[in-house]
Each structure stands twice: as C-alpha cells, then as structure tokens.
Chains A and B, each alone.
Chain A
Amino acid sequence: MSIFTKTTEGIGIVLLWIALVLAPVRAVAKDTITIGFTAALSGDSAAFGLNIRKGLELAVEDLNRRGDHTYRLVSMDDRGEAREGALIAQRFCSDPTVDVVMGYSSASIALAAAPILDGCKLPVIASAATSPALSNISPYFHRNVLTDTVQGGMMGQYAARTLGLSRIYVLNQQDDYGIGVARAFSDGAQKAGAQVLGTESYLVGTRDFRTMLTRVRMARPDAIFIGGYYTEAAGIARQARALGIQARFLSTDGALNTELMKLGHGAVEGMVLYGMFDPSAAAPETAQFVRAYRAAHGEDPGAWSALGYDAGKTLEAAVRLAAQNGQVTRESLNAAFAQVKAVPGATGPTTFQPSGDRDGVLHFFAVDHGRFVSLAGGVAPLAQPQGAYPAKQGAGPVGDTIAYFGQLLANAVVLGAIYALTAVAFTLVYGVVRLVNFAFGELFMLGAFVTVSLMLSRIQLVGFTLPMPALPFLLAALLAVPVTAALGVAVERIAYRPLRRAPRLAPLITSIAVSILLQSLAQTVWGAEELRFPDFALSSLPPLVLFGTIYFSVMDLVVIGAAVAAMLMLALFISRSRLGRAMRATAEDQTAAQLVGIPVDRVIAAAFAIGSGFAALSGLLYAQTYGFAHFSMGFAPGLKALIAAVLGGIGSLPGAALGGLVLAVAETIAGGVLPDGAAWKDAVGFVLLVLLLLFRPQGLLGRREMNTAGRGSLLDGTGVAFGPVARRIFARVDAGMARIGHNPRGLALGALAVAVLLGLGLSSDYWLTCLTMIVLYGTLASGLNLIVGFAGLLDLGFVAFWAVGSYFTAILFVSVLEHAMGAAPRQIWWLFYLDLPLGGLLAAGLAVLLGTPTLRLRGDYLAIMTLGFGELVRIVATNWIGLTNGPMGIRGIPAPALFGMPLASARAQFLAALVLAIMVVFVLTRLVRSYIGRAWVAIREDEDAAAGMGIPVARYKLYAYATSGFIGGITGVFYAHTQHYISPLNFDLFENILLLMLIVLGGIGTFAGPFVGSVIWFLFLQFSLGIPFVQNHPETRFALLGVVLILLVLFRPQGLAAGLRVALILPGLGRERPASAAPLATPATAASTETGA
C-alpha cells in the first residue's frame, strides 16, 4: 500500500512541477512582433548564422527606433543539426508570441523545419538556405536568396562567356550546397562552350587539399571552380599556388566573405565570385546599411549580413501592410509577404515568387588587392593572378607519373612530421601513466591560438579588443609551447591526478570532458571563425622546386626540421637525463618507482608538460602550414595522431614517429590513387588500425602486453577527492533513491505512470516532441550504459550503431522501396516492425566484426577503435552518396503506422517511443539479472577474478558490445521514422559524448540513470535557450557539460541515481532457500542438482 501512495504522491509532485514549467510564456505586448531566429550559431559553420543575425539585429534596432511596432528577436542555436532544427521549429510553433521565423543557415535544417512551420502556419524568411529542394515546399516558406541552381548556372555561363575560360576543373564540398552549385556551374559552363576537365569533392572542414590539388595539377586547367565556403576556398587557393598551379580561381557566394582574403593570404587575388550583395552599389539602402554595419562592427559587411538585414526590412514592409488590413497575425503576415513588391534593401529590391523564392540579381566580383571589387561595369581586364608559378611538368606520361608521386610523397612527409609529433605526445603520456589523453587535440589547438595571438598587435577576445605584443613567429612559438605545457600540467593536476588510483574509465571520461570544455572555451574566447595565421618573412618566400616538378615551401622544411629536432631531443632526454630515466622507471612500474624514491607525481607532471608542449608545437606548425587557427582544428589531427600512436605501438616513442609517417604516406597515396580519394582518405587510418589489431596488436614497434584492465568500477562510490562532502550533499537523494531502490517494480510502474499521464495529458506538440527526445535519448543511453556501465568498457562509437539502424531503414524505405520500386509506405507499414529487429541485428553484426579483433586487447583499445569506427561510419555516410545520399541526408522517411493508420502525431510518437523504451529496458533488466549480466559486472569489477570463475572474458565483452549495438540499431530505426529525415550530421562524436554524459550524470550502471540524465539534460537545454547569454554564446552550454562531467567523475562518479543499485538477481528469487539441508554437493551431486533442475 505504501508504495502505491508514495507513487501517486510522486506523480502528483511531478505533474505539479511540470504544470508550473509549462505555464504560458511571459505575456508580450500585442503590438510587439517577435522574430524567432534560428541558425547554426555554434560549431564549424557558425559564421553564416552569426552574420545573418548581425544584419538582422541592425535591422531590428533600426525598426525599433522608428517605432510603429516593437520588434523582438528570440535567437536559438540549431547547431547545424536537423533534429535541433525540428525541435526549435516546434518550439516556435507552440510559442504564440512568435510571429515569424528567420535565419536558416543551411538547407537541410530548413527542409526539416518547413513542414512543421507549415503545420502551425508560421511564415518564414530564410536567408542562407539555397537548395532548390526548398522551392514550393510550403506556402509559408520564403527566402531572400537565390537558389544554387540559378546562381551556379549563371556563374558557369559567366566564366565561359565573359571571362573566356575554356579548361575548367571543378571542385566541390561534399554537401547539397557544394554539389548543387558545382553541378549547375558545370552545366552552365559546358553549355557556354567550356570544357570541364574533372571534378573532385572534399568534406567541409578539410584542411589539407594537397593530394587533391596534385591531381588537379596533372590536368593543367586554366581555371578552378571551388564550389564551397570561404574557409576551404581560401585553403585550396593557398595550397594550389604553393603547388605551382597557375589557374584562375572561381568560387561561390559561400566564399564571398572578407574572411576569404584573411585566410587566403594573397593566393585568392584574382578569384572571381558571385553574390547577391554588392557593398559598392549606389542604392541608398545599401549605403545606409554599409554605414550602419561599419559603425556597429568596425568592418565591412558580408552578403549574409546584408540578407539578414533585408529580411528584417521585408518583414517591416509586410507588418505595415498587414496592420493596414487589420490585425498582425501569422496568417496576415504570410499573406502580406506574398503582396509586398520590390521592398528596397541592401541587396536590392525583394519580391517573393509564388514558389517562395526571390527575384533578384547576381553580382560578380573579383578579388583585387585584398578587396572584393564589383565587376558590374563589365569586366575590366583582370590582372594575372598573383603568385602564379609556371607549372613545369615532367615530359610525357612517365615523367608525369613520377612528378605526381614525387609531389604526393613530399606532401606526405610534411603531414607525417606533424602526425608524428602529436603521436609522440600521446605515446609519451600513455607510456608513463597508461592514459589515453583525448584532450591532446585541444592542447594542439591552443598551441596554435596562443602563437597566433602573440603574433598579432591586437586581438578580439570574448568580444573585447586587447593589445598584443606582435611578436615574431619564432618568439611567439617559443612562448606558446611552455604556456600550453603549463596548461597541460594544470589539466593533469585537476582532472587526472586525483584519479590515478581510480578505475581506467574515470580518467578516460575526464579527458573527453576536458576536450569538450577546452574546445567550447576556445570558441567563446577566440570566436567561431577561423583566425588567420599571420604572414612573416619565412612564410612569404616563394616555393622551392625540386626537379622542376616537386613543390614545397621553405616553411615545410622548417616544419620537418622542427619535428625531427624535437623528437631527437626528446629521445636524448629520455635516455640520458635523470628525469628521463625516472620517466622510464615510472613507465615500467609506478609502485616500484615510488619505492626507490622517484617522485612519481613530479615525473608524471613532467611527462604531461612535455606531451602538451609537443602537442602545442605540432599545433602551431599545423596552423602555420594551413594558415589559420580554429577551435575545432585539433579534433581530426588528434584522432590521426592517436591512430598513428597505436599503429606504432602505443607507448613506444620511435613507434609513434614511424606510425605518424606511415599513416601520412598511406593516406596521401591512397588519396592520390583511389577514385574520389580526397574524400575517402580519412578512412585509411582506420582501415590500417583494424588490420593492425588483427595481425599485430602490439603495433609496429610496440611490446606485447598482457590484457590487463584497471580494476574496479565507478560504482563503489569512492568519489576521489571530496567523497564525503559529495556524499553529504547527496545524502537525501541517496536515501530517497535507496528507498525506492528497494522496490524496483514500484519505481518502474511509478515512472511509467508519470510518462503515460504526461503523454496523454500534455497538449503542446513541442513538449511532446521534447519528451519523445528524452525517451529516445534515454533508450540510446541505456544501450551505451550496457557496455560502459555494466561491462565497464568505454565506447566512443556508439552513435555509429544508431546511424546504421537509421540508415538501414531509411535506405530500405525511401531509396529502395519508394524510389526504386514505387511502393507506397502506407502499404508496407508492417515492414517498420520487421526493420526494428533487422536494424538491430545489422548493428550487432557490425559490433561483432569490430569487437572481435578489439576486445581481445586492453580496454583502452576499445575506446580508440570505437572512436575511429564512429568516424568511419560518418565518413561512409557522407561520401557514399549512391547509398546514403551523402550530406544531403535521406528525407521523407515515413512515420510508423499500425495497420495503415499512421502514428504521426507528436502524441502517438511519444507513446510509441515509450513502448520501445519499455521493451528495451525490459530486455536489459532480464539480461542483467541473469548469469550473463553477472558476468558483465564481474568483468567490470575484476577481469582476472572473472576469468578465474570460468567466464570467457573476451566473449562476454563481445556479447555486451553486440547487445549494446543491437539496442543502438533498433533505436536508430525508430529514430529515423520519427525524424523523417536523417543526415550524417545527426551522428557525430559529440552525440556520443552527450550520451556518455547522460549516463554519468544519471547513474552509471543503473537502469534509471540514463533516463534521469536524459530528463535533466533536455530540460536544461530547453530552458537555457531562453537565457540571453546562452543565446549569444550557445557553446557555453557544452563548456558547462564538460565541467559537470569532470566534477561528477571526481566527486560523484556513481551519478545522481546511484542509490538505485541494480540487483543482479531477478526480484523474488533472492530469498530462495534450499528445501532441505542437503550436504555440500560433490561434483556428482551438483551435476544431478543441475540436471534435475
């Protein structure tokens, strides 16, 4: 009885709380127009959204000064993810104060959001979504930017007719924008008589284009079209010039940004681009905007700011019109959008076509002395591109081939030097403390930022301009290394040292958390955009040419020289110095070292200092080589270096150096030889890694080690530093949890009752969708919890299973059945229910394939391999366009249905998600409360003792891994059908870290923990969106995530719900007593007991 009253009481409290939370948002004066703004405001492509918002903010200020209506801007960060975009659309829908939606920095998000906004009749003006797929998508959807097809086609004709270019090589970034523009450009150019020599694609975020450009150089084009954004366009231009490519560059509106000149370092001189905004245009609106923008931001505006500004102006015109006719409502505003004609703006007049697209003109520009100069008055004879060098090539096909591979090798050596240097950092620390420090990528990044900052005369930090010393490169680099080293030591002191005796999982998790924290902080401090690496005397020298064909720069030699010198010095230091010898002794045996009087703590700090210094050195060399610093620049090289370190034999310094070189050569050659190799080359390292673990697990130069794992789990509650304090703080939570923990059935039923009541009682689609997300993330986290929480292995590639399930069903339903075979989703509704287990099995099969070679090895390998696996699945999903539709994603995945009745409403989806979650948790509890689950927990607690009990450890780890894969797979299938749209962006490493955070927050190794964590995080996420500071700095939420994760692991490793200890025996069986006092069973009688049973 007491459980029941308690449960109902609990439900009452929860409902009351939710009612308070959901109480209508603050009242807003009626003549206030609220603009819901959404775009990617953090992450790699944040620049577009931030720029649109800057323009829109100017417009809003201007409109508010005039005072007919008050305009209010509510800004949300969709992080470039369709799922976030959909949720934000729902939020705008259910917020009655929102009158219009603006922003949309990418088409994929607009595509996901448009149907939702259509459903609540909320008008949209998008400013950077250029995909033709958005034309006619909804009567409420408008955009003031031309489509890719129109723009690319016009550029193609312009290039061939007006510029008279005839041999063009086409490069494009691998997404719907790049592909769409490049295709339209090629068509346009070919129709106008030009020849397209070839096409290559690259991923957004690629830094090294030399392999691809070496291939381009073979074709000797007279122009190269770069269908992509400014960061990559600048990188391509720079590296092409350094390879002696003499062609003229052409690019897009995505590159039309003053950042292009900053990052291009003169190589972009003469580049021709198009765009919708010409700041030099004579129109008074343009001049007024440029003036206002300069006053506010101290720099010239770009096209995206202009479009954001114009969206605001168009809104004002529509509001006026609507107000004349009556009340300003969503409906009347939308009607007004169709009626307003030629609204003057910075980009010329705006008129919307019935399709929602805009009539507009395209302007052409050339980069001339570091400025965009309009080519409006006809094409003035363009100066020859500067910095062009005669591309002398070897004679004949043989000479060409030699030149080609010679150049590739030269490229590989430079890259290899950087990989090797970072790999050495990893391996040094690993050798001494047996910790894979995932945060080295971020120290790499900080090394670059510190160097760049010191080389400038002033810099914007957190939005404030600070004077800087403008040091020469060498001095800045010499300072940046110790600064970063000190930071590395501080990180070690705070986040790793207290965990030295903790289970291996603990420092691995904190190192991931540190990585997230540093990355987010760097974004807050240095901003979301690339910071140009300043030029200096050495870097401005003309390239050196070997045999007339192999180009490399003086700085390339400096990079190689610095890397070799640093590694040699380290080798000498380790073998000769006292500290080096102490380091070796500590690496051999920490306890023994301590016993013979070696100050182990100081030795380890020294290892971290050297490792961090090396990471900083390679980071700054990398940044110099590619010409910029960026907050996310450390991730990819960090992963590569980690792979290189494992290739060489983790712990072996010469091995790391060799591994770096081998990896760079393999990547470069594969990228140069394989078809579309440039896009695939990042997968090479991972393939090498799998082969290596299969055939030579100790690495090229490593020593064979026993399969040892740190003993114990995070669950024994020994919060390392302030355990007792944490315990006191959480005492009441623990007591409460322990009380309900005694009655797991009561808890489960209570939670279920609350969920069902919410599902039936809530009326807001937005909150129902949020709840669906909470349940789905809780389910996914439960799958991850199985491997991390119950089996004690860190899995950083769990999202890959989720992706596999999602893609499996999406490909089957959309690409195969609907498109290829013409089946209507309505008729094959039952297939969804078949796909759930099939998607799960497919994921589990992959888990077995990956786990079999990996799980025989030390636990750390799983973390590294799964990290690589997650990336690999993302690379495949992005590049295998024929199968997955690439970055464009798969759209139109039907909602689940039951006997033809679609379960499409937010309520039905939530209830369906709940059913799925119940099934998953039920299966999990049954498995965990059996000999299988006990074996997992035994392995987690003490692998050797478990083996001594006859548990085949590797096989049970594989079971755990496969089961967790299965759960990821089925949840993925379900996810695809609730989201209707999936793309590779849904499945990045960050999601994995988030899931990990959810279980650490909620309670690792408990059934309730993942859901507790999920509820807390999602509510926090939704509420924090309302805080203005968070709106301006969305990345600070992830900094907070990192901090919370570190604090939890340090002080409260068992999480919030730790009181809910999981019994490993089915309830009701635990108190079983033998019927009679039988004698101690001998082998014979035990057998008979067993068979008799």
Chain B
Amino acid sequence: MSAILHACGLKVRFGGLEAIGGVDLCVRAGAIHGLIGPNGAGKTTLLNALSGFVRLAAGQLRFNGHEIAGRRPDAIAALGLSRTFQNIRLFGAMTVLESLLVGAHRQFDMGAGAIVLGSARSKVAERAMIGRAHMLLDFVGLGADTAARVATTLSYGQQRRVEIARALMSSPQLVLLDEPLAGMNALEKQEIATLVRSVRAQGTTLLLIEHDMQIVRDLCDHLTVLDHGKRLADGPPRDVLADPAVQAAYLGRGR
C-alpha cells in the first residue's frame, strides 16, 4: 500500500535541546501505526511536528500528496489530518455535541448571510452534522444522554472518547492519537482498541502513541520506536519488539 504520510529528516529544536533529531517516518494508508519510546523520547513532539503545532527546524513532510512542512495546523487539518492530545483538550463550557460540531468545522461552508437569514441550506447542513455527531457518539460508545452534557464534566474515560469522536468528525484520512489508552483499566483499553480497529475498518489510517506493549503488539501493523529524538527501530511489531536495542533503551529505563 502507498504511504499516506511521509516524513524525512525531521528536526525540532527547543532552544538548545534537539527534541527530534532527524527522524524518518512512513505511515502506510490503512495502517494502524504505533509510535513508542520511553518518556521524553519525543513522541508527542513528533506528533506536534506532523500536525504543524511545532516549527520544523529541518526536514520534509508529505501528507496525502501535499508538502505540509511549515504549514499552519489548521491548514494541515483541512487536508484530512486530525488529532487528539496527550492531556485531553476539550473545549470548556461547551457541550459534547457542540464540541463535536467544532470538529466538523471544515464541513460547513455557508456564508454569514445564509446563517443570519437562517437559509434552508444552512439548516440542512447543521442537521446533517448533528446527525453525524450523534452517530459518532454512538460509535465511540457514549450514550445519547451525554450529548447535552458539558464535555469537561464527564469522566476521564468518557472525555477520551469525546476527543476521539471530535477528531473523527471531519472524516479525516489520518488520525493521530496521543496515548489514547493512558489511564484506562484493562476493559476500557480493550474497548478503545476495538474502536481503533473499527475506525481503520472504515478506511481511516491511524498513528498512535502507546506504552502498553501487549496492546501495541496486538493492535498495530507497524511500529516506530523513538529514543532521545532519534528513530531507534522501525518495522512490524514482532521484529521491532524483539530488537535488543529497543529492549535496552525502552525497558532499561522503563523500570
């Protein structure tokens, strides 16, 4: 299969610190791609770099046929790359339904005039997206009653799901999930893993960060290992996890 995301020689610097030091990454379309590495390895920073949230010091970055290095996050999102955040970032004071509609921002295209006049077309578009939001809530396993709740008052696990649903609202081609399983119990982890699989089953590619090796082994088609901002290994999970260098770097410090 072809690569949907192709990064080459990415570098990110924070002052004197080189958080990402020349990383290559290739995510194939339709894959569940895992990104692993010890704490502080630069995984989140890499995700931020891919989605335009930090400035690249060097490197090329192609997404879906577009060169996206140096583009703003919203422009990259508009091309069909969507993401969640390691520390959940839902919009305070918004209901779940409203938050999800923000995720569908790019799907709306009527002008201010149509909105003010309450044109039929704008109402139809609004209805369609509300319908989609309810469907996605159902899809990520949230009850219909959550739609009207203020998102930040939900439980941690529910907030994670809202964030994932929000990221899916725009019908993205690639979703970046930063530790979607963090802080969950075993049952919840299985549920989210199933959710991830069914997202892929719909044809959406996923790149996710995860620390739980068991889940990673089962869930991912492909793994990339980061350490100290460098790519340590890359390949099918079985091979990568067996790599002694990975074990040394990862487990050596993970204790």
Contacts and interface: CB of A to CB of B under 8 A. Distances in A.
A712 interface: yes
B97 A1065 contact: yes
B166 A949 contact: yes
Q: Is the interface of B mostly helix, strand, loop or mixed?
A: helix
Contact of A1081 (B91, B130, B152, B171): B171
A715 B93 contact: yes
Contacts of A930: 108, 115, 122, 126
Nearest to A1058: B93
Query: Considering residues B74, B139, B148, B199, which has the most beta carbons from chain A within 10 angstroms of its beta carbon?
Result: B74
A376 interface: no
A1081 B201 CA distance: 11
A710 B123 CA distance: 34
B220 to A, nearest CB: 21
Interface string B91-111: 111110110011111111000
B105 A948 contact: no
Given A948-B83, A1064-B101, A1080-B202, A953 B126 contact: no
B92 A1066 contact: no
A679 B118 CA distance: 49
B116 interface: yes
Contacts of A950: 74, 77-78, 105-106, 170
A870 to B, nearest CB: 26
Interface in A1036-1079: 1061, 1063-1066, 1069-1070, 1072-1075, 1077-1079
Interface in A937-994: 937-938, 941-942, 944-953
Interface residues of A, number: 54
Contacts of B78: 950
B193 interface: no
Contact of A1093 (B102, B103, B127, B136): B127
A1079 B199 CA distance: 11
A926 interface: yes
A718 to B, nearest CB: 9
Contacts of A554: none
A1087 B170 CA distance: 10
Contacts of B82: 948-949
A1086 B102 contact: no
A1061 B93 contact: yes
B157 interface: no
- Chain B interface size, as a band, is 35 or more
B51 interface: yes
A1083 B82 CA distance: 13
B204 interface: yes
B97 to A, nearest CB: 7
A934 B104 CA distance: 10
B128 A1093 contact: yes
B197 interface: no
Contact of B98 (A706, A946, A948, A1065): A1065
Given A1074-B132, A1082-B171, A927 B74 contact: no
Contacts of A1073: 131, 134, 144
A927 B116 CA distance: 6
Q: Output the residue of B97, B102, B166, B203 with the most chain A CB within 10 A.
A: B102
Residue with the greatest number of chain A CB neighbours at <10 A, chosen from B75, B130, B147: B130
A788 to B, nearest CB: 15
A1077 B89 CA distance: 29
A715 B130 contact: no
A760 interface: no
Nearest to A1087: B171
A1083 B104 CA distance: 12
Contact of B105 (A713, A934, A944): A934
A833 B252 CA distance: 76
B85 A945 contact: yes
B136 A1080 contact: yes
Contacts of A927: 112, 115-116
B13 to A, nearest CB: 13
Contact of A932 (B115, B127, B128, B204): B115
A904 B184 CA distance: 68
A923 interface: yes
B204 A1082 contact: yes
B92 A941 contact: yes
A1072 B52 CA distance: 34
Nearest to B139: A1080
Contacts, number: 170
Contact of B202 (A937, A944, A1082): A1082
A715 B105 CA distance: 22
Nearest to B176: A948
A1093 B173 CA distance: 21
A1065 B136 CA distance: 18
Contacts of A644: none
A711 B203 CA distance: 34
A1090 B107 contact: yes
A948 B77 contact: yes
B72 interface: yes
A734 to B, nearest CB: 14
A679 to B, nearest CB: 40
Contacts of A932: 112, 115
A1080 B125 CA distance: 17
Nearest to B88: A945
B123 A935 contact: no
A43 to B, nearest CB: 38
B187 to A, nearest CB: 22
B86 interface: no
Contacts of A1093: 124-125, 127-128
A715 B74 contact: no
Given A716-B93, A947-B72, A1086 B106 contact: no
B112 A1078 contact: no
Contacts of B108: 930-931
B73 interface: yes
A1090 B128 contact: yes
A195 B144 CA distance: 87
Interface string A355-394: 0000000000000000000000000000000000000000
B92 A712 contact: yes
A931 B107 CA distance: 9
B152 A716 contact: yes
A5 interface: no
Interface in B151-195: 152, 166, 168, 170-173
Contacts of A711: 89
A187 B181 CA distance: 86
A1074 B171 contact: no
A949 B170 contact: yes
A1089 interface: yes
Interface string B37-54: 000000000000001110
A938 B115 CA distance: 19
A953 B73 CA distance: 10
Interface string A247-268: 0000000000000000000000
A930 B144 CA distance: 22
Given A947-B77, A948-B53, A1070 B93 contact: no
A848 B47 CA distance: 34
A52 to B, nearest CB: 51
Contacts of B116: 922-923, 926-927
B141 interface: no
A1090 B105 CA distance: 12
6 contacts: A938-B94, A951-B102, A1080-B135, A1082-B202, A1089-B132, A1093-B125
Given A946-B102, A1080-B202, 14 more contacts: A713-B92, A926-B116, A930-B115, A930-B126, A931-B101, A945-B85, A949-B74, A949-B102, A1064-B95, A1072-B131, A1073-B131, A1074-B132, A1087-B171, A1093-B125
Which 4 A-B residue pairings sit nearest by Cβ, starting from the closest?
A1086-B171, A950-B77, A931-B108, A941-B91
Interface of B: 51-53, 55, 72-75, 77-78, 80, 82-83, 85, 89-95, 97-98, 101-108, 112, 115-116, 118, 122-128, 130-132, 134-136, 139, 144, 147-148, 152, 166, 168, 170-173, 198-199, 202-204
